[in-house]
Structure 1
Amino acid sequence: MNTENIHQPFIKKFPGDFSGNTMQRNTPKVLFSTVKPAGFDHPKLIAFNEKLSEEIGLGQFEEKDLSFLVGNNLPEDMKTYSTTYAGHQFGNWAGQLGDGRAILAGEITNEAGQKNEIQWKGAGATPYSRHADGRAVLRSSLREYLMSEAMHNLNISTTRALSLAFTGEDVVRDIMYNGNPQNEKGAVVIRTAESFLRFGHFELMSAQQEYTTLKELADFTIENYFKEIQAEGQQKYKDFFENICRRTADLMVEWYRVGFVHGVMNTDNMSVLGLTIDYGPYSMMDEYNLNFTPNTTDLPGRRYAFGKQAQVSQWNLWQLANALHPLIKDEKFLEDVLNDYGSYFWESHDKMLCKKFGFDQLLDNDEKFFTNWQSLMQDLQMDYTLFFNELEKYDEQKDLRQQFENVSYTFLSEEKISRLSDFIREYKSRLEKNGISREESLEIMHKTNPKFILRNYLLYQCIEEINEGKTDMLHKLLHALENPYHTIYPEFSAKRPSGYDDVSGCSMLSCSS
């Protein structure tokens, strides 16, 4: 790996704390603090993303590179740092937050001129750890490594994962916050992104009335990551906000397309670039349920439930609008953009659903069709992914129960079969309004509906096996997630076994990591 070309434009541009002090504390009027990774004596590599390493300009892995992957023996001139930001958590202002267990090495540029930031997660405490240890466990690190790569291969904007390694030390965690802490194997993941800038970075500067730094941060972000914006003055910041809104709405549509539930959509977990970021208590949808949340911390309110993600993203954008107001200074503009957000999202969402069903265009009566479908899915407890897979294979010559019984998480009574039959007739009638052939319709469905999703019970199994020193399932999952629109391993393209219904880490997760 070539780490010599990693540079640090961010810390050269903005006010920061260069003390290297990891003591948890407030750091007013700065955007970062220098901090060194903790260092680990007995690391062991679990996985390395060779394709990504080549793509971003780091090159091939050599044994000596393991030290860098866990933050050991870094070049003396490399100033590693963590950024500070604020945020609204579960709807409440949380004040100063920051990279509590993330440490940035800097930025690397590949031969094509594309930039990517390199960041360790789980490499030790920072000033923003809030009395935590800055470590991470295998459980959460593997989940982030695999899921971020799964999302990338599903063609969804996301951070990426470069490497995963054991630290060689144990970390104590209370997984369900029930007073039962246990030792778990520590791990470090390196993740990459064009930028890790969040809504919360702008919220902090605005809340502290550091308007000069707020403007400099916005200018830096636009210049480096929004090159399509050519306007000057106030209009530049208007275009900036509109662009963030559009990217965020597009991301929400993609989450709904594949059934991804983030679980903790605080404003500090929202990327201004429209990336999926911070893989904590997430889940891919098994049975379709608009009220599903995978996060135990989100109960009983279910603020971040599957069906509320678009609404929450709009609420988060209101908070960003408040933060950017000192630059935009136009309340009506901000209100209009935010009010238009819903219209843009729903039109994009319904066009996405058209593709899932193989429709070539959105018709006036499709909203009623989609509403009927949602009701059917919830009442019959249909698996979101498998339902569309079966719809692609539907054969009217075969028994309806036989085709769909392995897609439902409940017994399909005669009444439910009758209801499913009515829907299939409605679907066939809608297909007749297509202006394309059935073959073309199926091609749209094949490209839109994944055959493999990274379900929580599969991750649970993989974590258990790696803890036992086995890696066969890890390699199979990596192969499958690289080809999500094909059935590589039929056993992975099946609904969640009932034995995992109430297993912690499968149906529900906590924020513990």
Structure 2
Amino acid sequence: MNIERIRQPFIKKFPGDFSGNLIQRNTPKVLFATISPAGFDHPKLIAFNKTLSEEIGLGAFEEKDLDFLVGNRLPENIQTYATAYAGHQFGNWAGQLGDGRAILAGEIENDLGKKTELQWKGAGATPYSRHADGRAVLRSSVREYLMSEAMYHLGVPTTRALSLAFTGEDVIRDIMYNGNPQLEKGAVVIRTAESFLRFGHFELMSAQGEYKTLQELVDFTIENYFPEVTSSGIQRYKDFFENVCTRTANLAVEWFRVGFVHGVMNTDNMSILGLTIDYGPYSMMDEYDLNFTPNTTDLPGRRYAFGKQGQIAQWNLWQLANALHPLIKDEKFLEDTLNHFGTRFWKSHDTMLCAKFGFDELLKDDEDFFTNWQGLMQELQLDYTLFFNYLEKSTSTADVKDFFNRVSYSLLNDEKLKKLEDFLTTYNSRLSLNTVSREQSLAIMKKTNPKFTLRNYLLYECIEEISIGKTSMLEKLTDALENPYEERHPEFSAKRPNSYDDITGCSTLSCSS
């Protein structure tokens, strides 16, 4: 890899702390603190994303590049750093936070002029680690590496992953926070994004009254990442906020489309660019449940449940609006923009559902159709991805029993069978209102509904294999996730086995996951 192409990102544009001190502390009135990766004596590469490396301008991997991938070797003239931000966590103001186990390696520009930031995750403590060690364990690193790439190939805005490596050291973690810490294998991921700026970066400057720096940060963000904003004065900041709202709404709709549950939608985990960021206690949907949360820390309130993600996106945008108010200075504009967010979001959401069902346009009665479908999905415990896969293959009531057995996690009985049969009849009636052919309808469904989603039990199996030095599962999952709209691996197109229902780190996850 040509790591000498990596250059210093926006560090010099904003106030920062150049002490390089590892002591965990507050760093008021600054946006970053310089820090170097910890360094590891016995790293070992697990996976490298060749395609991404070529795309961003790094080129092919060589053995000597492993030292860069784990932070042992840095490009010349680069000062690595961690950023400070604030945030609301589970609805409560948490004050200053920051990159606790992420260190920005720099920025690279490819031959087409596209810029990409690179960031180590798990390469050691920073001033924002809050007395933690800044390391990452294998399970969380595999989950981030694979799922961020899976989301990219599904067409969902996301950060991406360049590499995954063992650090050669063990890390102590209490996975369920229940007083049972254990040694686990350590790992480092390099993740990439156009920018890692979060809602929390803007919240921090506003909360500290650093309005000049806040304005400079917004101006920098617009100039580099929001070319659609061309206005000036206060209107410039209004247009910026509206665009952030649009990107955030579109992201949440995409999560609903593929059945992704983020699990911890704190404002510090919200990308200002509308990317999926911070893959922690997430899950792809197995049986459909609007109240499902994969995060044990989110119980019993289920604030970040699947069905609430649009609502929480709006709540988070309210907090961003408060942070940007010193620049926008127009309460009515902010209130009107956010009060209309729900209307726009649900129209986009229902339009997305139309595509999943193969409808060519949204009709007046479709809201009732979708509501009845949601009730059916939950009552019959139908698998979200498999339901639409089998809906593409057959809408006939003649094979409804086979349909049920393939997609339901509940036991078959005559009442349930009748409800599914009635739904398929209603669905066929609704399909008849299309103005396109059935072939065109199926084409809409096939490009909207993935054949493969990266379920937690598959990740669990993959992590178990990698931990003992095997990579066959990793290779198969990588092939499947890179082609999610094709049935490349039919063994993955099946319901979650019952044996995984109560496995820690599979069906139940914590913020440590």
Name the TM-score, length of structure 1 as normaliser.
Answer: 0.99
1:353 equivalent in alignment to 2:353: yes
**C-alpha deviations, 1:94-139, integer Å up to 9, x for none?**
0000000000011111111111100000000000000100000000
**C-alpha deviations, 1:410-460, integer Å up to 9, x for none?**
012100111111111110000000000000000000000000000000000
Amino acid at match of 2:434: N
Superposed counterparts of 1:459-470, under 5 Å: 459-470=459-470
1:279 equivalent in alignment to 2:285: no
Structure 2 residue matching 1:85: 3-state secondary structure: strand
Q: Determine the C-alpha separation between the residues in 1 that align with 2:395 and 2:379.
A: 23
Alignment match, 2:21: 21
Sequence identity of aligned pairs in percent?
Answer: 77
Per-residue deviation at 1:505? 1.4
Alignment match, 1:265: 265
Alignment match, 2:97: 97
Alignment match, 2:498: 498
Per-residue deviation at 1:398? 3.7
Q: Determine the C-alpha separation between the residues in 1 that align with 2:395 and 2:267.
A: 46
Q: Determine the C-alpha separation between the residues in 1 that align with 2:405 and 2:460.
A: 25
Superposed counterparts of 1:300-315, under 5 Å: 300-315=300-315
Q: Determine the C-alpha separation between the residues in 2 that align with 1:412 and 1:223.
A: 57
Amino acid at match of 2:233: G
Per-residue deviation at 1:204? 0.2
Contact 1:161 1:190 in 2 (8 A): yes
Alignment match, 1:10: 10
Q: Determine the C-alpha separation between the residues in 1 that align with 2:33 and 2:297.
A: 29
Amino acid at match of 1:190: I
Superposed counterparts of 1:152-167, under 5 Å: 152-167=152-167
Q: Determine the C-alpha separation between the residues in 2 that align with 1:252 and 1:152.
A: 15
* More displaced stretch, 387-396 vs 242-251: 387-396
**C-alpha deviations, 1:8-41, integer Å up to 9, x for none?**
2311100000111111000001000000000000
Contact 1:42 1:168 in 2 (8 A): yes
Structure 1 residue matching 2:5: 3-state secondary structure: coil
1:367 equivalent in alignment to 2:367: yes
Alignment match, 1:222: 222
Amino acid at match of 2:298: D
**C-alpha deviations, 1:361-401, integer Å up to 9, x for none?**
00000000000000000000000000000100115274311
Alignment match, 2:233: 233
Q: Determine the C-alpha separation between the residues in 1 that align with 2:295 and 2:73.
A: 37
Q: Determine the C-alpha separation between the residues in 1 that align with 2:55 and 2:215.
A: 32
Alignment match, 2:297: 297
Report how many residues are paired: 513
Q: Determine the C-alpha separation between the residues in 2 that align with 1:399 and 1:232.
A: 61
Alignment match, 2:136: 136
1:41 equivalent in alignment to 2:78: no
Alignment match, 2:187: 187
* More displaced stretch, 391-400 vs 51-60: 391-400
Superposed counterparts of 1:374-393, under 5 Å: 374-393=374-393
Amino acid at match of 2:261: V
Per-residue deviation at 1:76? 5.1
Structure 2 residue ranges without an equivalent (≥5): none
Q: Determine the C-alpha separation between the residues in 2 that align with 1:399 and 1:58.
A: 52
Q: Determine the C-alpha separation between the residues in 2 that align with 1:364 and 1:403.
A: 28
Amino acid at match of 2:16: G
Q: Determine the C-alpha separation between the residues in 2 that align with 1:317 and 1:457.
A: 33
Q: Determine the C-alpha separation between the residues in 1 that align with 2:15 and 2:386.
A: 51
Q: Determine the C-alpha separation between the residues in 2 that align with 1:399 and 1:271.
A: 45
Alignment match, 2:125: 125
Per-residue deviation at 1:307? 0.4
Alignment match, 2:344: 344
Per-residue deviation at 1:6? 1.4
**C-alpha deviations, 1:54-112, integer Å up to 9, x for none?**
00011110000000000002245220000000000000000000000000011111111
Structure 2 residue matching 1:103: 3-state secondary structure: strand
Q: Give the root-mean-square deviation of aligned CA atoms.
A: 0.8
Contact 1:390 1:404 in 2 (8 A): no
Amino acid at match of 2:248: T
Structure 2 residue matching 1:171: 3-state secondary structure: strand
Q: Determine the C-alpha separation between the residues in 1 that align with 2:47 and 2:384.
A: 30
Q: Determine the C-alpha separation between the residues in 1 that align with 2:255 and 2:453.
A: 12
Contact 2:395 2:424 in 1 (8 A): no
Q: Determine the C-alpha separation between the residues in 2 that align with 1:213 and 1:375.
A: 49
Q: Determine the C-alpha separation between the residues in 1 that align with 2:278 and 2:424.
A: 39
Amino acid at match of 1:223: E
Contact 2:85 2:201 in 1 (8 A): yes
Q: Determine the C-alpha separation between the residues in 1 that align with 2:62 and 2:468.
A: 26
Alignment match, 2:452: 452
Contact 1:42 1:167 in 2 (8 A): yes
**C-alpha deviations, 1:447-481, integer Å up to 9, x for none?**
00000000000000000001111100000000000
Per-residue deviation at 1:163? 0.2
Per-residue deviation at 1:5? 1.8
Name the TM-score, length of structure 2 as normaliser.
Answer: 0.99
* More displaced stretch, 246-255 vs 9-18: 9-18
Structure 1 residue matching 2:336: 3-state secondary structure: helix
Structure 1 residue ranges without an equivalent (≥5): none
Contact 2:7 2:77 in 1 (8 A): no
Structure 1 residue matching 2:215: 3-state secondary structure: helix
